Amino acid sequence: MAIESYVDDILQSPESTFRKIISRVIIRRDKDAKIELVRQYTEVDETLFEAIKSILNDLKIEEGRISRFLYRYFKIEIFKNKKREQLILLGSQLKTQYSKLKKEKRRVDMHIDNLLDSLENLRRLKEAFVNKIDTLKLRQERNKSHAYIRKISHRIEELNRYKSALEQKQEKLFETEKLYRNLYYQIPRYYELREEHYLNLLAYKGESK
């Protein structure tokens, strides 16, 4: 059944019913967006980046192409290099931050999708009132309908502001993610790196033996 068929029922009900409908359509998504916008988010750890880049450059200078090839694809070390151990530790920090960054980005994407869903429903509701208004005979109903349209428009503007702000945050996270991804894939055998909490767990188990 079209939304327009419910407009008469909404107009004949108390304004509290209209407010409940708006509340159900938005489902706290405005409040969730507010919380997300004040949350701190991952930025480039310049110190960590420079340390990893420095070790990668040193390994290129200290080891030949064959040595790097054997380690990258077969994990064969012609000679032990302490900088590889440092790189594994720093790489674990990078992976931890990179994973956190991706989670943040997915969370922001979810909030934007939720806002888009609410915005679409609000626009449909507004359109239903606009289409119905010419058929209303009572001035009181027309005035009430105009008032509801203004209220819906206000909420649409409000959600659009949150959406725009979240999209700016999304863009920043996207740019930061590219930098992390580029450096992460430069680390030899990056796919074997473990996150910090995993390494800490292993260290704790080692100490408890």
Q: 154: domain CATH number?
A: 1.10.287.1120
Is residue 33 classed exposed, middle or buried when 0-12, 13-18 and 19+ CB atoms within 10 A define those classes? buried
Which residues does 122 contact at the CB level (< 8 Å), separation at least 6?
Answer: 22, 25, 26, 152, 155, 156, 159
pLDDT of residue 194: 84
What tokens does 24 get? 């159900």
Q: What is the pLDDT of residues 173-184, one digit of tens each?
A: 999 999 999 999
Rounded distance between C-alpha atoms, residue 113 and residue 118, angstroms = 9
For residue 67, tell me if it sits in a domain.
no
Amino acid 148 reads: Y
Given a cut of 70, is residue 203 above it in pLDDT? no
In this structure, what is the dihedral angle of CA atoms 35, 40, 41, 47, given to the nearest 10 degrees?
180
For residue 64, tell me if it sits in a domain.
no
For residue 84, tell me if it sits in a domain.
no
Percent of the chain with pLDDT over 90: 64
Place of tokens 């058929």: 135
For residue 82, tell me if it sits in a domain.
no
For residue 47, tell me if it sits in a domain.
no
Q: Which domain holds residue 147?
A: 93-208
For residue 49, tell me if it sits in a domain.
no
**pTM as predicted:** 0.82
For residue 118, tell me if it sits in a domain.
yes
Place of tokens 């702000």: 165
pLDDT of residue 66: 63
For residue 175, tell me if it sits in a domain.
yes
Does residue 139 or residue 77 have the better pLDDT? 139
Given a cut of 70, is residue 75 above it in pLDDT? no
DSSP string, 127-184: HHHHHHHTT---HHHHHHHHHHHHHHHHHHHHHHHHHHHHHHHHHHHHHHHHHHHHHH
pLDDT of residue 166: 98
pLDDT band at 201; cut points 50, 70, 90:
very low
Q: What is the pLDDT of residues 86-135, one digit of tens each?
A: 998 999 999 999 999 999 999 999 999 999 999 999 999 999 999 888 88
Given a cut of 80, is residue 200 above it in pLDDT? no
pLDDT of residue 84: 85
Contact call for residues 82 and 58 (beta carbons, < 8 A): no
What tokens does 181 get? 């991804």
Please state the domain count of the chain: 1
pLDDT of residue 139: 85
